[in-house]
Amino acid sequence: MSDVNDVIPGIIVVTHGRFGEELVKSAEMIIGHMESVTACSLMPGMDPADFMQEIQNVLAAMPEGTLLISDLFGGTPANISAAISTTKNITAVAGLSLGMLIEAASSRLTLRGQALVEAVVRAGKNGCQNILVEMQELDSL
């Protein structure tokens, strides 16, 4: 019998429109195929209850400790992710970027739970840079 810590968490990208689907494709273009990574898309006119059920259906096939990453803090995908995370053994973050998804896919091989969340959030924060300022600082070294 395997320990729950040996199970690699899944990732569900939860977004407005097809943003998440395309972000998963972009991440795979960079790091290759990602097992147990999928996107759930809230489409115009979709009932939030139906969207929640779609996410729960996907979660049913995912490993314990799955991470939900949503696009916009306070938006319907994030709010639904938060609601689901209070009833299941999963974690949820908002503010999705390509860097965060790549970090999540890489870090989940060794990190679980809050440690995984912290790595993903840190990647999101570190990925937001003023390019010109960063280039000027590098030139001054």
Q: Is residue 122 part of a domain?
A: yes
d(CA 32, CA 35): 10
Q: Is residue 3 part of a domain?
A: no
Q: Is residue 133 part of a domain?
A: yes
Fill in the DSSP letter of residue 87. T
CATH number at residue 108: 3.40.50.510
pLDDT 10s digits, 103-134 = 999 999 999 999 999 999 999 999 999 999 98
d(CA 137, CA 38): 38
pTM: 0.92
Name the percent of the chain in helix, strand, coil, to the closest 5.
50, 15, 35
Confidence of residue 141 (pLDDT cuts 50, 70, 90): confident
Instruction: Quote the domain boundaries for residue 12.
Output: 8-139
Total number of domains in the chain: 1
pLDDT 10s digits, 70-108 = 999 999 999 999 999 999 999 999 999 999 999 999 999
